[in-house]
Amino acid sequence: MRKAWNLTNKFIWSLTETPTMSAIRSGFIYMMPVVMIGSLVVAFLNLPLPPFQDFMVRYMGEGWKDSSLLIYRATMQVMALTAVICISYALANEQEKVKGGEMHPIYVVLTAFASYVAFIGQDLADSFLNISNMDSSSMFAAVLISVLSVKLFMLLFKAYDRVFKVNDYRYNGNIQVRASFHVIVPVFLTILAFSLANEAMRHSGLDGALSDGLADLMGSLFSVGGIAASIAMVLVTQLLWFFGIHGGNVFLEGVAAASGQGAAIGGVTKEFLDVFVYFGGAGSTLGLIIALFVFGERRSGRKLAKFAVFPGLLNINEPLIYGIPIILNPAYFIPFFLTPAIVAAISGLAVFQGLVPEPTASVGWTTPIFLSGYLSTGSMKGVLLQFVCLVVAFACYAPFVRQVRLAAERQYKEKFVTLTKELNYYESRRARRVLGRNDEIGAVARSLAAEIGSAIMGKDGLMHLEYQPKMDGEGRVLGAEALLRWNHETLGFVSPITILSIADEARLSIGLGQWVIRQAIGQLSAWSGSELRDMPISINLSPSQLVEDKDIIPTIRDALDGSGVSAGSVEFELTENEMIEKSDAVLEKLRALRDMGASISIDDFGMGHSSLRYLHDFSANIVKLDASLVQSLSEVESHNKIVAVIIELCDTLGIDVVAEGVETEEQLEILKRLGGKRFQGFYFSRALTPERFEEFARERGLSRE
């Protein structure tokens, strides 16, 4: 059973992650602003509160809804057109010609829009697809025509471009004019194809036959009545909804055809479905909202649930239908299709067996769950049945929401790996170009930037400092270096290089640097009552922080004064592998640090830009040997001589030397032989939490040099 489930799940996700399905989802997400506006307007207009409605009529007049209806018409009643524009744009950005800059996406969007208008035609006004209307009833046609028109247009354009290739070197006119003329033939042929499809649909009568057939099916099921018929009716309705066809409209057409007035037959009424099945909207999606709160991914799933909860309580689920999206999304097909049927079976059995009174009182379709159950049945049994159905709906959606979250986290990690590689690439070229990217890599970078900002503001405790011991030749603890760490809840360990690169591009470096200073000095204060009270801690200062942060000295001074820590217990490390600006402002800041009593250390000394100049210009009293020198001591004899010269020079100048990157006993012994006295590296310890560092220092003992 588990193997079959895993295979099914893998097949579903293979469908979900195809480029076309991804583009359709992106297109629906692009629609979210107008979907949310339209949904909130509908909720506002239909609030089931008589005092509110009376108040609005009394003080705003009988036509108080007119202005809001204009907003509704501008959003929800043109949903199909909006979908064509958004989906075709998303599909356009997946095309190689567009990615390569050979074509602007606007031509793809215009072609899809014109193809849709050509296909719907005025003669199809009462068709099964309702495609003469522009609202959500036509969503299936909008999606289908968007995909087909884009694929056809790109196929025709490639063929035309192959035959009539534009010579860029001979053309001296306006580039946009040339591009516009170059797409005329493919655009015309695409629109013509959908115009001919219109004619074929109109003359064949296929559209009307499908519409009449579905209406007859719904009418037959309604006439038969009973639990089985109601379940079948719900399944057909959900199937239509999944493909973007307004299943509720088809159901009502069938009811009208069967009864002429929608009267109850066999216990199946619209009130029954609204009260006990479609709570939250089609698909019993109030259960989905709760599942998103409990199991949804934090970055998007739970945020969407927050936006959807108010409309959902009024049985308006467009934010979920188009925000997840559910339409044409294989990941949600099973629960969206089956949950209402299961709920219908449970509630139908309870009503038909007389356990719960039949809902006879008419209540507005926007009446919230529990209130509608009580008003429609006149009994608390109706409320209890709704609660049971809601729990069942939640249980049906929960495993699928969890699978979606796990898949999203897997994709997020994959994009993060790509982001890290690209950051390293840009780092080597002193460039930052990830936050502005309009793709998944850019989205991951912006998400991480937002989380870094939250951590700086103290809203997230996952980013923290750990402390790597500095040791003397006897293996005792001399001090510690504060190192930035981030154990991301989804990505796990995030490299400090990645954090700093994103923070730098997002202009968060100053805030992040100040946060690190306060955290490190705060930890020294926390250790002040223990034997670590006099142990120095080194804090990294980036060149950009030195140059750009005008408040760095007041920040350090305030942190020291507020914690009671002596400035003599703090070292500030300047990263030497990036050029440090020698300006009056920078030199003044460094002098202020020395005047306080703090030490200045040059990190990565020996293999960077201007190591010896830094010793003179920045009045450093500590240097840290570059790890690459240390790790190649036994392999490159010249490095041994370089290290020996650096140690001798620093001893002459009264500057302490710390060899970082010590990983083996052999490296340690060579360094001692060359005159080294202070060491740091994995041979002794990795960075430790404050609690673990205190234990480590107690075990090894403290050096009193």
What is the model's pLDDT at position 123? 45
**pLDDT at position 243 over 60:** yes
pLDDT over 70 percentage in the chain: 81
Q: Tell me what pLDDT residue 321 has.
A: 85
Q: Model's pTM, two decimal places?
A: 0.66
- Burial profile 674-705: b = 16 or more Cβ within 10 angstroms, e = fewer: bebbbbbbeebbebbeeeebbebbeebebbee
Across the chain, how many H-helices and E-strands are there?
Answer: 32, 9
Q: What is the pLDDT of residues 88-140, one digit of tens each?
A: 999 998 888 887 777 889 999 999 999 998 888 754 444 433 444 566 667 88
List of residues 6+ apart from 615 with CB closer than 8 A: 602, 623, 653, 655
Q: Are strands 537-541 and 570-575 parallel, antiparallel or unpaired?
A: parallel
In DSSP notation, 244-287 reads T--HHHHHHHHHHHHHSS---BTTB-HHHHHHHT-TTSTTTTHH
φ/ψ (deg, to 5) at 63: -95, 25
As a whole number of angstroms, the distance between CA 347 and CA 356 comes to: 9
Helix (H) or strand (E) holding 495: none
Q: For the chain, how long is the longest CA-to-CA vector?
A: 104
Digit-coded pLDDT (tens) for 318-341:
888 888 888 888 889 899 999 999
Please name which of 119, 185, 112, 103 lies closest in space to residue 146, comparing C-alpha atoms: 112
| pLDDT score for 343 | 94
Strands 622-625 vs 656-660: parallel, antiparallel or unpaired: parallel
Q: Which candidate, 399, 290, 322, places its Cα nearest to that of 9?
A: 399
pLDDT higher at 200 or 598: 598
Terminal CA-CA length for the chain: 67
What count of other Cβ atoms lies within 10 Å of the Cβ of residue 360? 12
pLDDT per position as a tens digit, 433-448: 677 776 678 778 888 8
φ, ψ of residue 405 to 5 degrees: the values are -65, -45
pLDDT band at 87 (very low <50, low <70, confident <90, very high): very high
More confident residue, 172 or 373: 373
At which residue do the structure tokens 């989380």 appear? 451
**Count of CB atoms within 10 A of residue 654's CB?**
7
For 80, 299, 455, 693, 704, the CA distances from 296, given in Å and listed in that order, are 28, 9, 22, 37, 53
Measure the CA angle with vertex 381, ends 376 and 386; round to 5°: 70
Higher pLDDT, residue 216 or 429: 216
Residue bearing the bigger pLDDT, 509 or 206: 509
3-state secondary structure of 644: helix
Looking from the CA of 186 toward its CB, the CA atoms found within 13 Å total 27
- Cα 703 to Cα 449, 479, 525, distances in angstroms: 40, 9, 20
Tens digits of residue pLDDT in 521-547: 999 988 877 778 778 999 998 877 888
Average pLDDT, the chain: 81
Using alpha carbons, select from 478, 570, 436, 472 the residue that is nearest to residue 516. 570
**Residue 210 scores a pLDDT above 80:** no
Virtual torsion, Cα 658, 660, 663, 667, nearest 10 deg: -50
Domains of the chain: 462-700 (3.20.20.450)
pLDDT above 90 covers what percent of the chain?
A: 26
Higher pLDDT, 450 or 101: 450
Residue 170: band (very low, low, confident or very high) from pLDDT cuts 50, 70, 90: very low
Phi, psi of 571 (to 5 degrees): -115, 140
Residue 610 pLDDT level (bands cut at 50, 70, 90): very low
